[in-house]
Amino acid sequence: MLQTLDLEFTEEQKEIVNLSRQLAEKKIKPIRMKCDEEEHFPWEIVEELRKADLFGVYLPAEYGGLGGGNTELCLVTEEVAKVCGGIALCVAGTGLGTIPILLMGSEEQKKRWLPDLAGGKKLGAFAITEAEAGSDATALKTTAKKDGDHYILNGSKSFISNGEVAEIYIVFANANPAKGPRGITAFVVDKGTPGFTFGKKEQKMGIRANPTYELFFDNCRVPAANVLGGEGYGLFVAQATFDFSRPGVGAQAIGIAEGALDEAIHYIRVRKQFGQPIISFQAIQHMIADCATRIEAARSLLYNVNKGMDVVLKEAVSRSLASGKTVYQELRGLKPERLTKYSAMVKLFCSDVAMQVTTDCVQMCGGIGYMRDFPVEKYMRDAKVTQIYEGTSQMQRNEIAMMIIKEYATAAKAQAVAV
Ligand SMILES: Cc1cc2nc3c(=O)[nH]c(=O)nc-3n(C[C@H](O)[C@H](O)[C@H](O)COP(=O)(O)OP(=O)(O)OC[C@H]3O[C@@H](n4cnc5c(N)ncnc54)[C@H](O)[C@@H]3O)c2cc1C
């Protein structure tokens, strides 16, 4: 396994790494190719992850978690993704469906849903994308019409990870189309709610062990008590969620890159051409050096950002437990706009590293690297989606640039006032 910089994780965090690594090596490695080939979702691995208590590592103990933060979630995701990026998504995708409840949920909502998600008894999913609303989520057309103490949802969602296997879905719909994006509202919708059905299962390039589905809502009655953050707050729910979930995509991307490099190095150490091992050629050694350096840079960015985020998140959680306000309300006093910039940077950088490293790994291995019965091509296929979901790389760049422009504008305004 590739040796990486000691980032001074705690003993508990190192234990999480060891546990996840052992599970991935012993249980996931033997079945990953079959899961990929057959697009099979491995419930047996979900059971192993549940037994090892790895679903709720980042959730507060008050809601059944281990009391960690983004760092712990990313450590599990990275270790699993080293072996299979697709299987890692059942953890990270559940995180994406859980974070909105943690951040925006009332105490009653958190107590209702978080313990089952923390224990892995139920998987989560997050549904914002629609056929005509991808990068521009404000264009979503699913509606939510108020009817007494319920909302009636009508519409559809596209490309939803953990589709069908999840029990708890965060669904975005417009409760007041006249208000445009300010009508967008987030709902928690339980699987089995009448009027909520699944459509097409997508056939994908990579992460094939994770099911990606269309969702349909046909006069689906959802209690008003399932609204997260209040009517019209949907875009805040989405943005706050992405601030904390995008590093998870970064961790998945880095895991994929590390796994690919590990497989490639094992092969090129023994493969000989011109009477010598492939790894002895300087052109190949330079590729190894570039891959390993990129991985180190990406890991350092990821876990440094996580460290800062966890301080803020834990402070907001503890204030929220004392005040009864939501974690998001407490976070707002703790500069959430900086989280947006850094989490976008993590996702952008780590996913680009994953794509570049896995492509180089195929190159280093030559023809066998391109073949299905050798795992390196799977890593390259799995890497691609990390540049697309939870906002494409272009959208991350847009957000980062926008935040920097805003920072300079604010500084210039402050300076003008001072003068
Ligand atoms: C495997 C998979 C799983 C997914 N899982 C989920 C999920 O669980 N939940 C969910 O809600 N969604 C999910 N998605 C959807 C994903 O988030 C969207 O595909 C993504 O946001 C891009 O939207 P789009 O596909 O409509 O592309 P488009 O928005 O149509 O973009 C097409 C291209 O145009 C570029 N582009 C668009 N707007 C701009 C702009 N303003 N500036 C520069 N370039 C721009 C994009 O970067 C991209 O290159 C998943 C997607 C995939 C492939």
Cα distance between residue 94 and residue 117, in whole Å: 7
161 within ligand 1 shell (Cβ under 6 A): yes
8: CB partners within 8 A, 6+ apart? none
End-to-end Cα spacing for the chain: 57
pLDDT beneath 50: ranges in the chain: none
252 within ligand 1 shell (Cβ under 6 A): no
pTM for this one? 0.97
Q: Which helix (H) or strand (E) holds 173?
A: strand 168-174
Concerning whether 12 is annotated as a catalytic residue, the answer is no
CATH class name, domain 11-123? mainly alpha
- C-alpha of residue 392 to centroid of ligand 1, in Å: 6
Q: Where are the domains of the chain?
A: 11-123, 125-228, 234-408
127 within ligand 1 shell (Cβ under 6 A): yes
Question: What was the pLDDT predicted at 336?
Answer: 59
Token pair 């469906």 in the structure block, residue? 97
Pocket test for ligand 1, best of 388, 393, 398 (most atoms within 8 A of CB): 388
Copy the structure tokens of residue 264: 């490639």
- C-alpha of residue 61 to centroid of ligand 1, in Å: 34
- C-alpha of residue 237 to centroid of ligand 1, in Å: 18
Cα distance between residue 200 and residue 163, in whole Å: 10
126 within ligand 1 shell (Cβ under 6 A): yes
Q: Which residue's C-alpha comes closest to atom 48 of ligand 1?
A: 392
391 within ligand 1 shell (Cβ under 6 A): yes
CATH class name, domain 234-408? mainly alpha
Task: State the closest ligand 1 atom to the C-alpha of 202, by its place in the atom list counted from 1.
Answer: 1
84 vs 34, 216, 251, 361, CA distance in Å? 11, 29, 12, 16
Task: State the closest ligand 1 atom to the C-alpha of 394, by its place in the atom list counted from 1.
Answer: 47
- The pairing of beta strand 272-273 with beta strand 276-277: antiparallel
Cα distance between residue 110 and residue 119, in whole Å: 14
138 within ligand 1 shell (Cβ under 6 A): no
25: CB partners within 8 A, 6+ apart? 83
158 vs 53, 128, 172, 184, 233, CA distance in Å? 30, 8, 12, 17, 21
C-alpha torsion sign, points 103, 107, 108, 111: positive
- C-alpha of residue 391 to centroid of ligand 1, in Å: 6
CA atoms within 13 A on the CB side of 203: 2
Q: Which of 130, 377, 390, 399 is catalytic?
A: 390
Question: What was the pLDDT predicted at 418?
Answer: 86
| 125-228 under CATH 3.60.21.10, yes or no | no
